Amino acid sequence: MTLYTVRNEMGKDPKATLKEVADLGYKYIEAVDYKDGKFYGMTPDEFKSYTKSLGLKPISVHMGSMTLDNADKLVADVKAAGFKYFIAPVPPMGMFKFDPKTRKLGMEGTMERLAEILNTVAKKANAAGLEFLYHNHDFEFQPNKDGVIPIDYLLEKLDPKYVNFQMDLYWVTKAGVDPVAYFQRYPGRFKIWHVKDMDKEGRFAPVGNGTIDFARILKNKKLSGMKYYIVEQDQVFDGMKPLEAIKISKEGLIKFGFK
């Protein structure tokens, strides 16, 4: 599961929260907090040692602060902390845009520049023995001002030897796109899935408490290239607590046949 779901809890007591995550039966984690060379206030070695003591495996990490200037340092720390996947969660270096009034996500700059940045950092990650992925939201599946569909551009222009993708199944659905259609068009490119459901109002929901047909998607995991799936819920609603949401999601995973 991604620690973004329990980010508030991690901000208060990361070690206790990690233990709660482990106690719920999760084995693989994705980190999202990296500041001053530390993951949740722990050095890479400390983070690796503590998660190992809980039986947790750090699989992936979202590195939203990545730039061409700090990439070498970030790659080294990600490697030292025991992660396998180095992930760009959004277009980096100020290209990602969020309008708080409309809640609309998007990006500024050219697709050529985005591809150049991703490719440069990905090659550094690859040289260190890491795999580099790009994580989508909904705007990448919609034509930009130049009529280009960003995700298609990246999939077609970037070498799978260096750059592959973390598909967020909620955001793909939010964009009105069929995930399986992308698996068919670009087989083997989606190494990790973010698994979270969508309720009837279009909000984030625990797996199994929404409308996404995960069983159909899961049947195509081999085609997609999926190696790991990560439970996520960006926000909780109606008084639900994040730790309660991931507990419900774990039950939902079992119902749909995730292993």
Query: CATH number, domain at 145?
Result: 3.20.20.150
Q: How far is residue 140's CA from residue 128's CA, in Å, rounded to a whole number?
A: 28
pLDDT at position 257 is 93
Residue 194 contacts by C-beta under 8 Å, 6 or more apart in sequence? 2, 135, 166, 167, 168, 169, 170, 171, 229, 230, 232
Q: Is the pLDDT of residue 259 over 90?
A: no
In a domain, 156, yes or no: yes
Cα-trace Rg, the chain: 17
For residues 30 and 40, the answer to whether their CB atoms sit within 8 Å is: no
Task: Name the domain count of the chain.
Answer: 1
Q: Which domain holds residue 156?
A: 7-256
* Segment (H or E) for 105: strand 104-107
135-159 pLDDT, tens per residue? Answer: 999 999 999 999 999 999 999 999 9
pTM for the model: 0.97
Confidence band for 15, pLDDT divided at 50, 70 and 90? very high
In a domain, 1, yes or no: no
In a domain, 161, yes or no: yes
65-87 pLDDT, tens per residue? Answer: 999 999 999 999 999 999 999 99
Q: Is the pLDDT of residue 103 over 90?
A: no
Q: Is the pLDDT of residue 188 over 90?
A: yes
Query: Average model confidence (pLDDT) for the chain?
Result: 97
In a domain, 2, yes or no: no
The larger pLDDT score, comparing residue 100 to residue 51, is at 51
What DSSP assignment string belongs to 115-126? HHHHHHHHHHHH
